[in-house]
Chain A
């Protein structure tokens, strides 16, 4: 973290009234990396993302994008280089999926001339066949893929000359396993094209498989960050998530495979392996 990062947060704090939601967070996000944020519910992950994208003004500390404080950026110039995917959104009126994706070009003011890029993004998010459908008639997972295509179009699929950033709040929460992997493969491809990707995940195994760096949060603090192998240890997982954890090798990928079970002794036995909070162990196709 010595080289200046594209998105840099220093001593970031945010509190509502006297309740601190994010405490003293230091984080740098550089082009080419996929940073996954993990943590239990209420750990401050979404709040951190909202601070990083400027939706919330920090109570202390500062966020810089490309060296300049967020507040000093013109909104539109920032929007050209940084896209944010919210957790869920409701769209009134009968916009089609294609029209929604095209809205990603708003800050570039070239919606009319970018149909090919819109279609390309939708193909990469496997939703091109939905382009003519009305968005609110789609399933949750289909909507999520359409919104992902919209943020990709906003940063020009990472093909622009200036480095850009992508902030994703649980982008795979409604997706089936195949599309979860496809979306995160896409995040990796964006990173390979030079985009800095910040993604909130809940699935430890997905994070282990696709993140180049893991940030662990608990009670508003970043408790650890580093390579997946360094961070996702049984001790760390059990202390942050309050579960029993076991880490071994994923027979399909050779990477990490993480298994968890509730910490309290009253768990029956192996039947609880697929408990929420750690969906380890299921066969997945990468």
Chain B
């Protein structure tokens, strides 16, 4: 057979990705203002009575109240953003689609920030956390509206136009910037700190409560996505072709748009706009395992979770005791990567 891309075994790949995720999670739980040795983490998780009593309380406190919810939240957000990216790229038949880049995260932030602004003006004196349950709803509505808008804008004759897609993203992100800027102008100092994290994202708000609120929406996306692998593979041939292969393309796309809006909306509502995870992760997996969505979706979930937990660990520790917004880390690595991708795609489109 002629030379072609090598596709490693799926079992091996998933073993490697799972091990990587586990190692990153343990590192993230151990690193921070209070260092906890990996052995103590395992003991606290599996057999807390074996810990020395003098350190047991503080370890349990740090682990169970701060680090573990934060790592679980990172896992959920990373997996959701990466899978949402893979779904959008498959659905738009374009490797440059990404919830942040094309404005879906921006739409979600728009919805969420609007709620914050309204709640502070309408219910004066009420902290925005009182409206916690409204936030994911508003973020979902914003994400959905933007997804439907760009889908309508960027499609001509069944093909998605990349330029329109990216320009729509620029426009949406500009509008979001304006609304956030206005909110900052109107906000008190305390609210400003809360608002500023929307623009760059942070897992700083992680707690068991926020985790519990976002988990159902993220899990809906993560658990449903694999059922659409076959349809997404067929859509790669073209929407009409997928129809001829027996898939109800419009229905698949409708469901995926709602799931993506729900999952990304939930992530943005509680962690702000974290860029590039959704763009870069599926691309790395495709380079390694090939474009088959049966592998791409679960592998992206594992790698996305790993990358986000690693970024968060960096963000917490690189300038300790201060905490960098996580978006600074993902953009610092993701931006250059995106440029390389653009250039290599241009080379493929215009071979010398």
Contact = CB atoms under 8 A, between A and B. Distances in A.
A100 interface: yes
B1 A129 contact: yes
A56 to B, nearest CB: 10
Nearest to A119: B1
B17 to A, nearest CB: 20
Contact of A94 (B234, B245, B286): B286
A89 B241 contact: yes
B237 A154 contact: no
B2 A130 contact: yes
Interface string B79-113: 00000000000000111000000000000000000
A10 to B, nearest CB: 22
Contact of B246 (A86, A107, A131): A107
Contact of B236 (A55, A92, A134): A92
Contacts, number: 89
B233 interface: yes
A134 B233 contact: no
A131 B5 CA distance: 11
Interface in A145-163: 150, 154
Nearest to A50: B240
B244 interface: yes
Contacts of A100: 237
B48 interface: no
Nearest to A111: B230
Nearest to A82: B244
B241 A99 contact: no
B241 A132 contact: no
A154 B245 contact: yes
Interface stretch (A22-30, A73-81, A180-188): A73-81
B237 A131 contact: no
Interface string A84-103: 10100111111110011001
B93 A106 contact: no
A99 B292 contact: yes
A131 B95 contact: no
Contacts of A80: 246
B245 A103 contact: yes
Contact of A79 (B93, B94, B233, B244): B244
A104 B238 contact: no
Contacts of A76: 246-247
Interface string B270-292: 00000000000000001000111
Nearest to A89: B238
Contacts of B95: 92-93
Contacts of B159: 90
Interface of B: 1-5, 93-95, 159, 230, 233-234, 236-238, 240-241, 243-248, 286, 290-292, 348
Interface of A: 53, 55, 75-80, 82-84, 86, 89-96, 99-100, 103-104, 106-107, 109, 111, 129-134, 136, 150, 154
20 contacts: A55-B240, A77-B246, A79-B246, A86-B241, A91-B238, A92-B94, A95-B291, A95-B292, A99-B291, A100-B237, A103-B237, A106-B234, A106-B246, A107-B245, A111-B230, A132-B1, A133-B3, A134-B5, A136-B348, A150-B237
